A and B are shown apart, each in its own frame.
Chain A
């Protein structure tokens, strides 16, 4: 049973070789390998989740070396749902890309490599191993962003590479400080040894600062988000949906694991400055991300800044540091992945069928694409936090947690950000349903200018968006199940 956990990482790495190696002889092998591998991945993730639900947390010793000396992979109530999410989103994106492209074998190799990196990032119980998976994730993402045809994509990717590498290296430096202080790299072992060094020892506090800043770059919190809008906007639609749904999510999960599993809540209590800085960072990110989203005219950029704001929410849930808020942050982590992935996929269909990528091009689109506009509206209102979709329970728990902790400022910011979210999604939905359609001449002109559009809506692509909407609403209704799997893990931390 526990072997499924290590196969989640090993299988996609092995499968990633096949499209490139086999592509020499059979061109177009990549899509079949990708479909087969993601189906296996979904099954394996299901086995891990099932095992966690029936028998509780378990771990796997890589190579048979006992932790804390060997590397440990951990399946628990929080990592298992995320592993399932990663596998399902990958399957969705692979199906979507069958029609939307890119079609090259290299694309599928990169996607599978990214899948391995993300799964490893979520499953690992070793801080150095986490660095390696962070960099595997990064490398695969840089290559995927650059697979866009526009020259800007290469520039966006290089910018991401430079900023992302500095972030990951800061993380590595923080790990070095922890290693010097304690002599171990295993997360559980670190948590046991850090109190002996002292929570307020300069070495530990500096390590925390380096690790938090390094991971915040990968999560794309303001002001460390500068790589993110370009990377999301310039990549192909399938890629922006995939990385928006999962890459920052996995990094935020890494941040959660480090803060709660390694440093523990006692550290946040012993060093109030760390907690306050964390909270301030998150609060500023929520507001500035939302304000920047309101002023964008390109829809993919707007969604990118919306991610800055919503990851601010998630991190605020972590920083408030009580069980309610943390549960809220973790729910929103999963929920945001589904909703934002679905929104990017929907925008991809709008762009390829109607040539619409800028806000004003959405005028009257509901007449032409009624089903897709409806799906987009549901996901948009879900992001705003309208029940019963998944956007609501996450935000609700964060606000309740903030009030419980007496953090009124953060509670106000979260509620206020909901209005801003309504501001930037509401104007799109309003244009789609209530504005007059554009004259056909300008529409033709934009299609020519953008070089996309004019295609018939692909039922395969729309079907994936339908699944995302069903997932967002279904998970919102069944959110108590998710909270039930989180509880046994969170109880240990508080």
Chain B
């Protein structure tokens, strides 16, 4: 068990980030903090992919880097795409928050919900 934790601690960290992120989205009434928590949540998933693509003493599958243990570059490429998606989502989210703030004058979800209904 201890050995597993020592070699796979990044997976534990990834799942902790995922859970903390979801908790933040649910628990915080502040819209900006919700978006921050959403980012933490996504970073947890990114870390999961990156960890799966890491091998101790592995080398990239490029000529001239040796040929003992090759690492699949695919997870890293996928996460590069996912980061771009995450950035666009954050941008759209923040733009919406700017508009909500202009309309309601607050960032507190409970207040907005009360006014909206």
Contacts and interface: CB of A to CB of B under 8 A. Distances in A.
Interface in B1-51: 18, 22, 25, 31, 34-35, 38, 41-42, 45, 48-49
Contacts of B35: 162
B89 A135 contact: yes
A142 B31 CA distance: 16
Contacts of B82: 131, 172
A267 interface: no
Interface stretch (A148-156, A302-310, A381-389): A148-156
Interface residues on B, range: 20 to 34
B89 A165 contact: yes
A139 interface: yes
Contacts of B89: 135, 138-139, 161, 165
A176 B89 CA distance: 20
Interface string A160-192: 011001100100110010011001010000000
A264 interface: no
Contacts of B78: 128
Contact of B45 (A139, A161, A172, A179): A172
Contacts of A185: 74
A183 B71 CA distance: 12
B92 A152 contact: no
A352 interface: no
A135 B85 contact: yes
B97 A158 contact: yes
Nearest to B39: A165
A421 interface: no
A132 B86 CA distance: 11
A157 interface: yes
A171 B68 CA distance: 34
A400 interface: no
Interface in A311-351: none
Nearest to A154: B99
A162 B48 contact: no
B48 A155 contact: no
Q: Identify the interface centre among B22, B34, B35, B78: most chain A CB within 10 Å of its CB.
A: B78
A158 B100 contact: yes
A419 interface: no
Interface in B73-112: 74-75, 78, 81-82, 85, 88-89, 92-93, 96-97, 99-100, 103-104, 112
A71 to B, nearest CB: 11
Contacts of A162: 25, 34-35, 38, 93
Given A151-B100, A154-B99, A166 B41 contact: yes
B52 A179 contact: yes
A143 B89 CA distance: 11
B103 A154 contact: yes
A172 B85 CA distance: 12
Main secondary structure of the interface of B (DSSP, over half): helix
B100 A155 contact: yes
A217 interface: no
A41 B7 CA distance: 51
B46 to A, nearest CB: 9
Contacts of A183: 72
A152 B112 CA distance: 9
B116 interface: yes
A45 interface: no
Given A128-B78, A132-B85, A142 B48 contact: no
B7 to A, nearest CB: 15
A152 B49 contact: no
Contacts of B49: 176, 179
A44 interface: no
B22 A161 contact: no
Contact of A176 (B45, B97, B104, B113): B45
Interface string A185-224: 1000000000000000000000000000000000000000
A173 B45 contact: yes
Nearest to B98: A154
A146 interface: yes
B22 A155 contact: no
A443 B82 CA distance: 51
B52 A176 contact: yes
B81 A132 contact: yes
B76 to A, nearest CB: 12
B85 A166 contact: no
A154 B96 CA distance: 6
B96 A146 contact: yes
Interface of A: 128, 131-132, 135, 138-139, 142-143, 146, 151-152, 154-155, 157-158, 161-162, 165-166, 169, 172-173, 176, 179-180, 183, 185
27 contacts: A128-B81, A135-B89, A142-B92, A146-B96, A151-B99, A151-B103, A152-B116, A154-B96, A154-B99, A154-B103, A155-B112, A155-B113, A155-B116, A157-B96, A158-B100, A161-B89, A162-B34, A162-B38, A162-B93, A166-B25, A172-B45, A172-B82, A173-B48, A176-B45, A176-B48, A179-B49, A185-B74
Interface of B: 18, 22, 25, 31, 34-35, 38, 41-42, 45, 48-49, 52, 72, 74-75, 78, 81-82, 85, 88-89, 92-93, 96-97, 99-100, 103-104, 112-113, 116
Given A143-B92, A161-B92, A169-B41, 4 more contacts: A132-B81, A142-B96, A173-B18, A180-B52
